[in-house]
Structure 1
Amino acid sequence: MKPFEFKAGDQPWQTGTLLHWYAEVDWSDPTHQALKDLVTTSNQALLDAGFPITPVELQWLHITVDQISIPADQISAESRRRLVEEVSDQLVGIEPFTVTVGSLLSYHSGIIADLSPDEELAALHAAARSGTRAALGDEACRYTWGLQHLTTAYAHAEADSDAAQRILRRVRPSHAPVHVGAVHLVDVTARTRDQSKTVTWDRLATISLGGRK
């Protein structure tokens, strides 16, 4: 593992905030207790072993549906309104769904959990990307989207990934469900300090899944 580096599109994210489309975890849903246990148990095991990680606080756990790579302060209120309208139109007909979180992986810059199946998440991303492009143009769509995951901790120093993976493999149960019922437009702040890395946000809009025209 090496220290995590925040990205704005394909460039280092140095200052300011960025709008994102996130799927947040609804902690009022009792089915997410298993996810809470998985995340807290695995992070504590790594901290107890001395790994240089910053656990993601439960309220900030999320799945990145897409990043809008234009600085947030350059997107006007009218453009944001149109953005929400365009993405809402694209999301029509996509139903709420559940994906499996796990197994946990010691990645190059922290700890992530694999997400499966992929089809519904890919559909969310395609809808958000299409709506974003219609509202803001290609310049807003420089974020590279790949196999989706849920980040549970960021690395803030170098560490042995293999040793971390051996600890993570002993965490049981190793999987948990997460229900996705909405997509949120959020204004994200990324902070890097000497021994911590954090992502927080202000929620700007919520689009519930399962809508019909």
Structure 2
Amino acid sequence: MKPFAFRHGTGKWPAGETLLHVYAIPDLARNPELAKLAQGCRDALAPYPLTMVEDRWLHMTLMQIADKFGARYSAAERAELAAALRSDLAGFGAFDLTIGSCLAQNTVVMFDVHPDERIGALAKRVHDTVGRVRGAGALAYDAGIPHMTIGYANGEADNADIQRDLRRVRPGHAVMTIAAVQFVEVTVDADAKTVTWSLLETIPL
């Protein structure tokens, strides 16, 4: 494992800039098993050079809107994006995901999520909406296979050791209900390896 680097599209995320995203943020009050799982993984990962994600900042990235930085969007442009997402996601319907197992990757530790069909369809619909409203330049970032990061590496560690300790966390899975997505403006700290955001709008499914 090596230190994580935040990206804007395919390039570096410059210090001090924000980016608009669409997230699926867990409601831990409705999903207490997920809160327990996340804390168990944090406890298991405490010996390692990782910045752990607090409960309030847990998220699944569905879309990074990459055509320009957050501060450069006008109020009208933000409203247009929110309205398009509200329209296109209306009636999609709530669904459950299984969160876990927790996996040590090259620069992060993350929860796999499954099954893939509904979360994949949701991510595609968000992608298509953003592309229609903002154009191809907004689509430069690839969020990859859906996942939820629990820790960002800030040093080097042996993945085999990490995975061994994660496997001892029991239960190793939890349910997450997705009933809405969140349109957010995201700030990162490249040195501290933290992700925080301000909520622009919650969009029900």
Out of 58, 61, 65, the position equivalent to 1:61 is 58
Percent identity reads 39
Q: Cα distance, 1:76 vs. partner?
A: 1.1
Question: What is the alpha-carbon distance in structure 2 between the residues aligned to residue 155 and residue 124 of structure 1?
Answer: 28
Equivalent residue for 1:51, pick from 30, 48, 52: 48
Checking the alignment, whether the CA contact within 8 Å between 2:28 and 2:34 is kept in structure 1 is no
- Residues 20 and 183 in structure 2, CA contact (< 8 A), matched pair in contact too: yes
Residue by residue over 1:108-129, the C-alpha shift from the partner in whole angstroms, topping out at 9 and shown as x without a partner, is 1121010001111111111111
Q: CA deviation at 1:68?
A: 0.5
Q: State the match for 2:203 in structure 1.
A: 207
Shift of 1:145: 3.0
Contact 1:86/1:134 (CA < 8 Å) preserved in 2?
no
Structure 1 position 10, deviation (Å): 0.8
Cα distance in 2 between the residues matched to 1:5 and 1:192: 7
RMSD, matched Cα: 1.0
Residue deviations 1:51-78 (CA, integer Å, cap 9, x gap): 1011100000011111101211221111
* Structure 1 alignment gaps of length 5 or more: none
Where do 4+ consecutive residues of structure 1 move more than 6 Å?
A: none
Give the deviation of 1:192 after TM superposition.
Answer: 2.3
Partner amino acid, structure 1, of 2:129: G
Q: 1:93 offset after TM fit, Å?
A: 2.5
| Residue 44 of structure 1, CA deviation | 1.1
Is contact 1:79–1:136 with CA below 8 Å preserved after alignment? Answer: no
Task: Specify the alignment match of 1:10 in structure 2.
Answer: 10
CA distance in 1, matches of 2:141, 2:44: 32
Distance 1:140 1:110 in 2: 25
Query: Are 1:164 and 2:162 an aligned pair?
Result: yes
Distance 1:66 1:114 in 2: 17
Contact 1:87 1:130 (C-alpha < 8 Å) held by counterparts = no
